[in-house]
């Protein structure tokens, strides 16, 4: 199977794609070089954003020791909310404004990294949060200029936030989860030490690992960059371009690694090979979706994560009830890929094969179901909920879920097939229960 013809230029459409990636340092022991890297970026007084769970770990100790050994004044901020909201963003920005910092380090999962991005933005270029939030929910104001240097150090194998210009927030004023997207939000450096995954509970590895897989498949199946019109000026080329030959490389390999190692990494905390490989898959997927974009599963996830807070996920028992981001995303994925497959069956079959599904003799019309079943099998193997009904949702919630997802036009426009409000309602019904 090959989808190379996806990229044949269609008439007057786009013919150019760009690659603008966050510099990456990856490997065992990378955290011990944090101080030297921060010093090299000109930092002297550092705001260290960290999850309170991470602060007392070996990773937290290594990060602090490295910063202080380099002679840097590092001040810890550990009041990050898991799945941050507008109030937690405001509190973080206030902390930064009072502290007169010249650089940021984030050490934790996506919530920590996203909070540091937002605090950097709102303290450097103060404005109402809604000014920067993606349209149509917010005003999508362009960030006026550069932000302070930020080194992002992920401790979970899934977020990809260390490589992207996206920060996600639960907007309490409107009851929706959405985000800010700008290349200027990308961290200055992603410093990735796979040892940080070794102490994660299996449930956290499952949630974040499925975020990796879904990122990668969404990027690989996104509308091709050639389907967009050429911009009137190169500066108007969007940061999320759709699938490109460059992004395909990282997406496909991330899917292969996820299919091979996710269940192992969840099952056995001592399987360092599996956990380290999953962290590398996360890095690859983050680089891919950071320019290709994501689509329907992510758009649907924000309603799932926001409208009800009844679920307690494995690995998150000591936190407030909520749906972790990775679960909110993947629980929609089988339904979404059944829907999108008809736009490009070959791509969906290629993704299924990379996941480890036998696609020998598969017909194009079966592509969506084959990919969906591959996800469902892995979800069952790793103990994930059987659908959104297991999170507390029912038929009566479908209209509100769909309305919230339909407001997420930034990811929806990247889908290979247009999706209506009625389509989204049908997808949530399909996602209600898979087994």
Tokens of 59: 């990773």
Could you tell me the pTM of the whole model? 0.92
Nearest to 70 by CA among 103, 107, 33: 33
- Is residue 12 within 8 A of residue 230, CB to CB? The reply is yes
Task: Please report which confidence band the pLDDT of residue 12 belongs to, taking 50, 70 and 90 as the band edges.
Answer: confident
Taking residues 225-238, report their average pLDDT.
91
Q: Quote the CA–CA distance of 331 and 301 in Å, as a whole number.
A: 8
Q: Quote the CA–CA distance of 70 and 198 in Å, as a whole number.
A: 26
- The answer on pLDDT for 382 being more than 50 is yes
Q: Quote the CA–CA distance of 64 and 229 in Å, as a whole number.
A: 48
- Is residue 154 within a helix (H) or strand (E), and if so which, with residue range? strand 150-154
- Identify the structural domains of the chain with CATH numbers, from first to last: 29-192 (3.40.50.1970), 200-430 (1.20.1090.10)
- Is residue 287 within 8 A of residue 241, CB to CB? The reply is no
pLDDT in tens, 341-380: 999 999 999 999 999 999 999 999 999 999 999 999 999 9
pLDDT in tens, 42-61: 999 999 999 888 988 999 99
In this prediction, residue 178 carries a pLDDT of 86
CB count within 10 Å of CB 423 equals: 17
Phi, psi of 3 (to 5 degrees): -120, 30
Taking residues 144-168, report their average pLDDT.
92
- Is residue 23 within 8 A of residue 163, CB to CB? The reply is no
In this prediction, residue 51 carries a pLDDT of 87
In this prediction, residue 11 carries a pLDDT of 67
């Amino acid at each position: 199977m090959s989808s190379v013809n996806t990229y044949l230029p269609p008439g007057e459409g786009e013919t150019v794609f760009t690659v603008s990636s966050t510099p990456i340092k990856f490997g065992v022991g990378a955290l011990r070089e944090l101080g030297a890297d921060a010093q090299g970026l000109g930092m002297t007084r550092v705001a260290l954003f960290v999850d309170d769970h991470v602060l007392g770990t070996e990773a937290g100790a290594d990060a602090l020791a490295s910063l202080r050994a380099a002679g840097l004044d590092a001040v810890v901020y550990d009041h990050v909310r898991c799945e941050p909201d507008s109030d937690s963003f405001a509190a973080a920005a206030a902390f930064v404004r009072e502290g007169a910092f010249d650089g940021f380090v984030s050490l934790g999962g996506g919530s920590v990294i996203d909070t540091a991005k937002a605090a950097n933005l709102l303290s450097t270029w103060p404005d109402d949060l809604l000014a920067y939030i993606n349209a149509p929910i917010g005003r999508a104001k362009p960030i006026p200029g550069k932000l302070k240097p930020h080194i992002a150090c992920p401790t979970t194998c899934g977020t990809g936030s260390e490589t992207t210009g996206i920060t996600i927030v639960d907007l309490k004023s409107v009851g929706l989860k959405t985000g800010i997207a700008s290349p200027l939000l990308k961290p200055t450096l992603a410093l990735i030490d796979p040892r940080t995954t070794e102490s994660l509970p299996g449930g956290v590895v499952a949630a974040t690992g499925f975020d990796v897989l879904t990122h990668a498949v969404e990027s690989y199946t996104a509308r091709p960059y050639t389907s967009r019109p050429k911009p009137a000026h190169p500066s108007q080329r969007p940061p999320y371009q759709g699938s490109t030959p460059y992004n395909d490389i990282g997406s496909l390999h991330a899917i292969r690694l996820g299919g091979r190692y996710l269940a192992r990494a969840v099952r056995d905390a001592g399987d360092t090979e599996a956990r380290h490989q999953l962290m590398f898959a996360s890095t690859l997927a983050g680089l891919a979706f950071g320019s290709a974009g994501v689509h329907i599963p992510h758009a649907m996830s924000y309603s799932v994560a926001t409208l009800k807070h009844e679920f307690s996920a494995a690995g998150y028992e000591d936190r407030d009830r909520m749906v972790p981001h990775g679960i909110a995303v993947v629980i929609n994925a089988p339904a979404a890929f059944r829907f999108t497959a008809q736009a490009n069956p070959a791509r969906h079959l290629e993704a299924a094969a990379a996941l480890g599904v036998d696609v020998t003799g598969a017909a194009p019309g079966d592509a969506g179901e084959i990919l969906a079943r591959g996800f469902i099998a892995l979800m069952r193997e790793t103990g994930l909920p059987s659908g959104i009904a297991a999170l507390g949702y029912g038929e009566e919630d479908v209209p509100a879920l769909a309305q919230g997802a339909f407001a997420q036009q930034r990811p929806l426009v990247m889908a290979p097939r247009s999706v209506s409000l009625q389509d989204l309602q049908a997808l949530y019904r399909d996602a209600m229960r898979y087994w």
